Chains A and B, each alone.
Chain A
Amino acid sequence: DAGVTQSPTHLIKTRGQQVTLRCSPISGHKSVSWYQQVLGQGPQFIFQYYEKEERGRGNFPDRFSARQFPNYSSELNVNALLLGDSALYLCASAQQGADTEAFFGQGTRLTVV
């Protein structure tokens, strides 16, 4: 079975631009969570979606948004990119909510220049 897949793996954007990151969860998993991880820190929770509804939101500005599709895949959008948005963006899928065992994708490395 395929694990969690994320695309693209690497991305370079310019300040002020917009970016869309994509995630396909493990087959049968209905929950997708998004995290931002900067070097030397643990992952920071951004969003959690379950059954296409937003169930949790971290302390991130409104420039960050996400959605989950009927096939449970998800997109994370970030508008008006700042240099500080440069990070590894991780997607995790779980069978149920974020409080169950989650499995991470390989991540998308975003660099804002």
Chain B
Amino acid sequence: QKEVEQNSGPLSVPEGAIASLNCTYSDRGSQSFFWYRQYSGKSPELIMFIYSNGDKEDGRFTAQLNKASQYVSLLIRDSQPSDSATYLCAVTSWGYQKVTFGIGTKLQVIP
């Protein structure tokens, strides 16, 4: 079982729709959860981070965390073609200085 699992995609959504990206993790001790966006040939860019169960909103982005189900998601509202990128889920545990990334989900927003 992979420590952090994501569907590699591609996930295709029409412009203006909601894109839903999902991530599951295996370590119940995980405490910090991050979403990064990576354009082709570029380095990852931090989009959102979440530490507590529930939802966290920042502009068009909402991160959702459910520790009981070991599940974290990222919703992108009003998707734009410029959102087309690979979205990486990353997970850490308090006191254990290791960050584990998923394989990333490729998102394609169709104009």
Contacts and interface: CB of A to CB of B under 8 A. Distances in A.
Interface in A70-92: 88, 90
Given A97-B97, A98-B92, A103 B102 contact: no
Contact of A105 (B43, B88, B90): B43
Contacts, number: 66
Contacts of B6: 42
- For chain B, which range describes its interface: under 10, 10 to 19, 20 to 34, or 35 or more residues? 20 to 34
A98 B49 CA distance: 13
Grouping DSSP codes into helix (H, G, I), strand (E, B) and loop, the B interface class, with mixed when no group exceeds half, is strand
A26 B12 CA distance: 35
Interface stretch (A11-19, A50-58, A61-69): A50-58
Nearest to A100: B32
A25 interface: no
Contacts of A100: 32
A48 B92 CA distance: 12
B44 A104 contact: yes
B97 A55 contact: yes
Interface in B31-80: 31-32, 34, 36, 42-46, 49
A40 B46 CA distance: 19
Interface in A20-44: 33, 35, 40-44
B101 A56 contact: no
A111 interface: no
Interface of A: 33, 35, 40-45, 48, 50, 55-58, 88, 90, 97-107
The 10 closest A-B pairs by CB, nearest first: A56-B97, A42-B101, A55-B97, A99-B92, A104-B43, A48-B97, A98-B97, A99-B32, A56-B98, A43-B101
